[in-house]
Chain A
C-alpha cells in the first residue's frame, strides 16, 4: 500500500500525559498537512510543511502542540499536557506542489481519546 499511513490508529491517554503521532506521506510528496476533526465537523487545518519547512500554523495550534518533519519525509505531531478538549481524530495528508488539483491524499487518521 503506497498511500498515507498514520500510527497509531487509536490512542487513549489520561489528561496531562504527552502523546505523539506519526505520519508517513506518499513517498514523492513534498507537502504534508495536519488536520484535526471532531465528531460532526469537517477537518480543521493545523499546520503544513513543504519539505522540512513548517510554512503555516493555525491559531488552533496552541503551544502544547508541536509538529516536525525532519529530512522532509515522515512527520510527528506531539501534544503535551493533553486536555479532554484535545479528543479528536488527527488527520494527516500529503500532496505534490505541481499539478492542477493540488490534490491532498489523506491518511486514515489517529483517533485520540483523553480521559
Chain B
C-alpha cells in the first residue's frame, strides 16, 4: 500500500515556466512533509519541508502548498531552469519516524 501518492510520473517544462508536482496521503498521523531532489547517481537531497500547521512555505523559487483537509501537498518550482532537471520525491513522516516516499517525478526543463 502506497502511503504517499505522487503525480505526475514525468513532467516537461519550458525554461522559465512553472513546474507543479502533487502528492496525497492518507495517514493523518503524518506531521512532516519534505520534498527531495535527486540527480542521477546521487542520494536524495532535502529541498524544502513543511509541517501541517501552515498552508504554504516558500524558499527562493520553491514553494510548498499544503491542504490539510484534502490531505494533499504540492511543490511549485517557479522560473524553472535546466539545472532543475532531476527526479523529485515527496515524503511524509509521523511519530514513529518512518519516512514514506512517493514514487518520484522526473522533471525535464527544456532550454
Contact = CB atoms under 8 A, between A and B. Distances in A.
A70 interface: no
Contacts of A93: 43
Interface residues of A, number: 26
Interface in A1-57: 4, 31, 33, 35, 40-45, 48, 55-56
B104 A104 contact: no
Given A56-B96, A102-B32, A102-B93, A42 B46 contact: no
A40 B103 contact: yes
Interface of A: 4, 31, 33, 35, 40-45, 48, 55-56, 58, 91, 93, 100-109
Interface of B: 4, 6, 32, 34, 36, 41-46, 49, 51, 89, 91, 93, 96-104
